[in-house]
């Protein structure tokens, strides 16, 4: 697309010569064109299109150029007739005459002088002094111009030339959210877009007026311009609230061989159109302070302009990157109406109007960026005009022939008031004959009447013989001329026949070559199809092999990860087993050393006693150290017999839970193992369940789940997961977990006790390692913690008991 960055300082004539004049030339040559003005509100789009008094805009200049070019070649009114399917037909002279008589019978407002009354508001706008015209116009065609004027308001299409009937109606709201009062005009109905057989979009039921002059066409435009919706905003006193589209259709058809009548063949008719669009300006509501209907209008205007920009962006992307994205023409009536233009059915020109105000800097910058982007879009499609096959220049040649014929007849005393040549020649011959005298005989003795009559008849007979001889000579000469003409025609026919035979031979050779090439093309297409199928099969095999390779690689990775995990587990088990055996070996070695030390001590004591007996025969018995007594007590206590069977059983103590005053659900899965440790919590009045139960949750406020798992050292680790029960909106119950208590049981043999510095005796350590009291042998750690995953109820850590 081409564009021109213009402002009010650029002269309208220069703007017309650069932008609009090529579109008018294409219109007369049978090609379509689209010209629209784009910019922010108040930047001069409507002024550029319509102009001002004394300086006509682009629209009156386009009309003036069209009628200056086709003026002498226009068809009579109603010869061309548009149908309801965006097509055109040619009527015969009789039907066109009837249509003209009906139109002439209708009342037309005239001035007292009998001329058409011209609105003074636009009389100065159509006064264009340039008289621009297209140089190369097909003189053998006849032309007719049709104009229509529509507007797109709130994404609805309205006909500005439709005459709304005047009827008293009840108050209601029309499509524009405007109340209709009694006695107002019925609001126009919105029109529908349709697609014709050539895939071009058109407005159904739109009024199309046939015009024969610039004044008549601009008068139609001005009549619709008065109905266009405008409003007063903060940025523009007369702001356009709709997109207006003025469509100029040019129908043309060739003359027949005589150059008198229009060909009735529909395929020889060419219909081209030029659309002049005055877009509504984009505006920001924070600047216009629009409310109500104005705000709704601004939203629809900005949405349609955004759709136009999106369509052009997608076209540019498809052109630059070779993609085939769908262009969203149907998102707006504006883009949907001109879909065929953007698809290449004609040229598109855009005039960008820029406001020099500093307040419009950001909006003007966006407009310029859009214009720069549209400059890179190029969509073109050739248009083939139908060939009529008639001799060019037949209009003026036949006209010259008729003028020469009438001149020759006038030289011979030619026909008056349309008489034929034969009648004039016969009358001329009759005038050369002598007049007949009176043949009435009144007297028997009259001897003058008959001789005079005989004399006149003889003269007429001689003159007749002379005319007959001259006619025979002329017939002979004409026959000779016809023979010569026939011989020349025969020679020309023979020459043409020879040329035709040569051309036919050439065409036959070319046909054979075409057939050979077609066969070759079919063979190549078959080979290409086979290669494509083979390539498809190979690609499918490649895809399957890749998938198989990926699955096998994933399987190998899983196996490798399982192997590494198994190796790590085995290494951990080996390390754990090695550590256990080392500890067991150390314990046994320590026990053996302790036993040997006890035996040595017993022997030493015996030797001391024996020595004392030998050396000092006293009756006193030496005392053992306190450690010795303690050790004996420990040994006695370790080897003491089990309590009597009649002794009362020992009742294990449980720590009382801090939540004993509330109603709890104690959920203990059947897979848990009973530990019965000292620190096992006991919740009185709790409902114990083996599986989750809604009835139990409905009766309680708290919930506790007992979960057991195997720790890394092989011991059982019990977790008490607690939470609050609350009701949901649906009538059910939900649990929010707030804390976790961990109960861990440890073996006393698993912990390596160290001797304190104050008691470094190894015998004492060895004795302590053999301590087997149940109450102190179990070490239970209670940890209460809160996290984001458990719920927001806890924010502190409790110390172990």
Binding residues for ATP: 39-46
Return the C-alpha torsion angle 267, 269, 274, 275, nearest 10: -60
Q: Is 370 exposed, middle or buried (0-12, 13-18, 19+ CB in 10 A)?
A: buried
Answer yes or no: are the C-beta atoms of 424 and 413 closer than 8 Å.
yes
DSSP assignments along 144-184, one per residue: EEEEEEEEEETTEEEETT----B-----EE-TTS-EEPTTP
The C-alpha angle 726, 729, 734, rounded to 5 degrees, equals 30
Distance CA 574, CA 466 (A): 151
SS3 40: strand
Return the C-alpha torsion angle 247, 28, 86, 36, nearest 10: -30
Beta strands in 559-653 (DSSP E): none
Q: Token pair 């149907």 is at which residue?
A: 330
Q: Is 73 exposed, middle or buried (0-12, 13-18, 19+ CB in 10 A)?
A: middle
SS3 652: coil
- Element spanning 243, H or E: strand 243-254
Answer yes or no: are the C-beta atoms of 254 and 393 closer than 8 Å.
no
DSSP percent split of the chain into helix, strand, coil, nearest 5? 45, 15, 35
Residues 6+ apart with CB under 8 A from 657: 681, 682, 683
Answer yes or no: are the C-beta atoms of 665 and 689 closer than 8 Å.
yes
φ/ψ of 153, rounded to 5, equals -125, 120
Residues 6+ apart with CB under 8 A from 718: 672, 675, 706, 707, 708, 742, 743, 744, 745
- Element spanning 201, H or E: strand 201-203
φ/ψ of 143, rounded to 5, equals -125, 155
The span from the first CA to the last CA of the chain, in angstroms, equals 85
Token duo for residue 382: 């050739």
Which residues line the annotated binding site?
Answer: 39-46
Distance CA 664, CA 656 (A): 14
Query: Based on C-alpha coordinates, what's the Rg of the chain?
Result: 58
Token duo for residue 379: 């969509």
Distance CA 353, CA 47 (A): 10
Query: What Å distances lie between residue 641 and 76, 100, 488, 629, 635, CA to CA?
Result: 140, 140, 157, 19, 12
């Amino acid at each position: 697309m081409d564009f021109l960055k213009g402002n009010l300082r650029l002269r309208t004539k220069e703007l017309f010569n650069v932008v609009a004049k090529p579109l008018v030339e294409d219109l007369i040559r049978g090609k379509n064109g689209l010209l629209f003005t784009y910019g922010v509100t108040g930047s001069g789009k409507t002024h550029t299109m319509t102009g001002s008094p004394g300086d006509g805009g682009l629209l009156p200049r386009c009309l003036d150029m069209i009628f200056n070019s086709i003026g002498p070649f226009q068809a009579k009114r109603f010869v061309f007739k548009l149908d309801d399917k965006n097509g055109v037909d040619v009527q015969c002279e009789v039907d066109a005459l009837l249509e003209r008589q009906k139109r002439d019978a209708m009342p037309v407002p005239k001035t007292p002088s009998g001329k058409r009354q011209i609105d003074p508001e636009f009389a100065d706008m159509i006064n264009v002094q340039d008289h621009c015209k297209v140089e190369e116009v097909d003189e053998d065609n006849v032309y007719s111009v049709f104009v229509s004027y529509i507007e797109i308001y709130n994404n609805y299409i309205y006909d500005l030339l439709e005459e709304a009937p005047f009827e008293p109606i009840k108050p209601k709201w029309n499509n524009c959210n405007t109340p209709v009062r009694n006695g107002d005009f019925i609001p126009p109905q919105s029109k529908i877009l349709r697609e014709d057989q050539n895939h071009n979009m058109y407005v159904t039921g739109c009024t199309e007026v046939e015009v024969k002059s610039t004044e008549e066409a601009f008068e139609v435009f001005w009549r619709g311009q008065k109905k266009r919706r405008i409003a007063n905003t903060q940025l523009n006193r007369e702001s356009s609230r709709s997109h207006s589209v003025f469509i100029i259709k040019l129908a043309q058809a060739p003359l027949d061989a005589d150059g008198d009548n229009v060909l009735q063949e529909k395929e020889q008719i060419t219909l081209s159109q030029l659309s002049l669009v005055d877009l509504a300006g984009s505006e920001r509501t924070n600047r216009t302070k629009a409310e109500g209907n104005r705000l709704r209008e601004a939203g629809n205007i900005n949405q349609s302009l955004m759709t136009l920009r999106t369509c052009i962006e997608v076209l540019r992307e498809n052109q630059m990157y070779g993609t085939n994205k769908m262009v969203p023409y149907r998102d707006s009536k504006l883009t949907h109406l001109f879909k065929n233009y953007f698809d290449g059915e004609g040229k598109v020109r855009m005039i960008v109007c820029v406001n020099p105000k500093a307040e419009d800097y950001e909006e003007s910058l966006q407009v310029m960026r859009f214009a720069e982007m549209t400059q890179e879009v190029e969509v073109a499609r050739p248009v083939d005009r139908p060939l009529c096959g008639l001799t060019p220049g037949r209009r003026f040649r036949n006209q010259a022939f008729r003028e020469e014929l009438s001149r020759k007849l006038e030289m011979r005393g030619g026909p008056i008031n349309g008489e034929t040549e034969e009648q004039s020649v016969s009358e001329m011959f009759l005038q050369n004959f002598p007049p007949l005298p009176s043949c009435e005989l009144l007297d028997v003795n009259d001897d003058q009447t008959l001789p005079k009559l005989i004399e006149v008849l003889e003269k007429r007979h001689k003159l007749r013989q002379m005319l007959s001889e001259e006619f025979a000579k002329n017939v002979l000469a004409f026959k000779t001329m016809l023979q010569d003409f026939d011989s020349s025609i025969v020679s020309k026919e023979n020459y043409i026949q020879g040329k035709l035979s040569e051309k036919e031979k050439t065409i036959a050779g070319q046909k054979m070559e075409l057939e050979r090439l077609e066969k070759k093309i079919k063979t190549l297409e078959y080979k290409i199809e086979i290669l494509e199928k083979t390539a498809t099969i190979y690609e499918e095999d490649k895809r399957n092999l890749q998938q198989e390779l990926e699955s096998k690689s994933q399987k190998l990775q899983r196996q490798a990860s399982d192997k590494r995990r198994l190796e790590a587990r085995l290494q951990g088990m080996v390390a754990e087993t090695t550590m256990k055996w080392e500890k067991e070996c150390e314990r046994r070695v320590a026990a053996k050393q302790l036993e040997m030390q006890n035996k040595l001590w017993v022997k030493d004591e015996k030797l001391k006693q024996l020595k004392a007996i030998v050396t000092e025969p006293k009756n006193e018995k030496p005392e053992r150290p306190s450690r010795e007594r303690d050790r004996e007590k420990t040994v006695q206590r370790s080897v003491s017999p089990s309590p009597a069977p009649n002794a009362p059983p020992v009742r294990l103590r449980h720590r009382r839970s801090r939540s004993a005053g509330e109603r709890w659900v104690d959920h203990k899965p059947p897979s848990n193992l009973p530990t019965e440790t000292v620190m096992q919590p006991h919740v009185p009045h709790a409902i114990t369940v083996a599986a989750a139960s809604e009835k139990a949750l409905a009766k309680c406020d708290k919930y506790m789940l007992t979960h057991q798992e195997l720790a890394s050292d092989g011991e059982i680790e019990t977790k008490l997961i607690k939470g609050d029960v609350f009701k949901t909106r649906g009538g059910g119950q939900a649990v929010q977990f707030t804390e976790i208590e961990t109960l861990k049981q440890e073996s006393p043999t698993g912990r390596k006790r160290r001797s304190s510095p104050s008691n470094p005796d190894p015998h004492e350590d060895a004795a302590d390692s053999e301590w087997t009291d149940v109450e102190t042998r179990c070490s239970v750690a209670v940890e209460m913690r809160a996290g984001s995953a458990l719920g927001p109820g806890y924010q502190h850590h409790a110390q172990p008991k």
